[in-house]
Amino acid sequence: MIKKTTMLEFDKKHIWHPYSSMQEPSDMQLVTSASGVYLELENGDKLIDGMSSWWSTIHGYNVPQLNHAITHQLQNMSHVMFGGITHKPAIDLAKKLLEMTDDSLDYVFFCDSGSVSVEVAMKMALQFHQSQGDTQKTKFLALEKGYHGDTMGAMSVCDPVTGMHGIFNDVLHKNLFAPSPTCQYDAKWDDSYISAFRELVEENHKQIAAVILEPIVQGAGGMNIYSPEYLKQVKHLCDRYDLLLIFDEIATGFGRTGKLFAYEHANVIPDILCVGKAITGGYMSLAATLTNQKVVKGVESNGNVLMHGPTFMANPLACCVANASLELLTSSPWQERVLNIQDILKEQLSKCQALAIVKDVRVLGAIGVVELNQHVDLAWMSKAFVNEGVWIRPFLNLVYIMPPFIITKAELTTLTLAVYTVILKFEEIQ
């Protein structure tokens, strides 16, 4: 029998949070409401959210247009299966996605989450070759420090050493990994930056089904920002050796890097594109895998069909709020806002560079990263940030912010000042 407890006491005893221990549970912040860029806690305190709820709430919280869209859709239907049935929210959303992306991407497969969209992309690539009788192409070439999700297929293309899934290495499908790009975004190009990747392709192309990577910004694997030229070189090698190219834009899609999609920095178009997170403005879990005619024809060779079909695929509520979110994005001065955020982050985070504990500071679009020389103390830092009136959740040796696009300069300054203040305090106690 469960004893009567406070909500936080119950949470600590019974709810398993992501990447956390039930035996030594972390302290939780009980959020009772959210509006704009603020999270309101049970005690009435308000925190400026520097994480956009894991990079999804680009418009902030409690957005009238998104609230209206989802409540209006409730009056019609909340869900229907997508097998043999379709509906207007899904059709409208597919149209929007195809209009926003490159003309070569003609097909949309809706998914439950970002991880699932990666699984679907990988299945597309494998079926592409299997359906045409090429049974040797069973591996993927990914990047070290890459992160693509927590499901089994997605884990197999995440960094096997520094990633979060090392415990599963013996049971995951064995793939190939090239070194993480070391060429900074503005770096002068040198052929050595692509040499290891090229060597892996040349030696293993007969067994590689596809290359999968996060374009321009490697997210949860280390917040690494790299040169667009690297993508151009990868694309050249994929074309030369007839490899499919998968871009995971779950974190970078919909404006986060200052371009609508990160691949636009290099003008390199993938065969398969994964999107998610910000697609619904953070309201509901939804993702999509987009692809081209080449992949569709290959997958469906010899009468085959793509073998995937989630129960909540193209959920009408999620599609409806996604439509409203994308309409709100494209009708707003989103790029001006993101580039303003970039300018402020570059100016204000630069002073962190003077701290001895800081290894690097990097910024692109609405992404600001301070890399330390040692791993953070997550429990201590989380509490310290709350004391500064902000919500920032660091990981590994990284303190980073990815705020909503609607954030004001004053609110963003509060975030950057908190980053500097907390890192300085952390340095002093080491």
Closest CA to 295 of 274, 314, 309: 274
Q: Apex CA 354: angle with CA 351 and CA 355, to 5°?
A: 110
147 catalytic per annotation:
yes
CA angle 399–401–406, rounded 5-degree value: 170
The candidate with the shortest Cα–Cα distance to 290, out of 95, 147, 105, 139, is 105
Which of 38, 147, 283, 420 is the catalytic position? 147
**DSSP code for 369:** E
Three-state DSSP at 135 gives: coil
Concerning whether 13 is annotated as a catalytic residue, the answer is no
Cβ atoms of residues 394 and 376 within 8 Å:
yes
Secondary structure class of 340 (helix, strand, coil): helix
Question: Both tokens of residue 223?
Answer: 């917040």
Which of 49, 112, 159, 248 is catalytic? The answer is 248
Whether 359 is catalytic is no
| Measured torsion, CA atoms of residues 55, 276, 321, 40, in degrees rounded to the nearest 10 | -20
- Give the full edge-to-edge strand order of the sheet including 358-364: 358-364, 367-372, 398-401
**From 96, 123, 235, 277, the catalytic residue:** 277
Question: Quick check: 28 and 41 in contact, CB under 8 A?
Answer: no
Distance CA 205, CA 187 (A): 28
Choosing from 19, 103, 186, 242, which is the catalytic residue? 19
Block residue for tokens 């580039």: 339
**Under the phi-then-psi rule, with left for phi > 0, alpha for psi from -120 to 50, and beta for the rest, what region is 84?**
left
CA pair distance 418, 158, nearest whole angstrom: 31
Helix (H) or strand (E) holding 90: helix 88-100
Per-residue tokens: 110: 């809706």
* DSSP 8-state symbol, 312: T
How many Cβ atoms sit within 10 Å of the Cβ of residue 387? 13
**277 noted as active-site residue:** yes
On whether the CB atoms of residues 89 and 316 are closer than 8 A, the answer is yes
* Residue with token string 């908190």: 418
The tokens describing 51, both together, are 């994480």
Task: Calculate ∠ Cα 125-143-188, nearest 5°.
Answer: 120
Catalytic residue positions, numbered = 19, 147, 248, 277
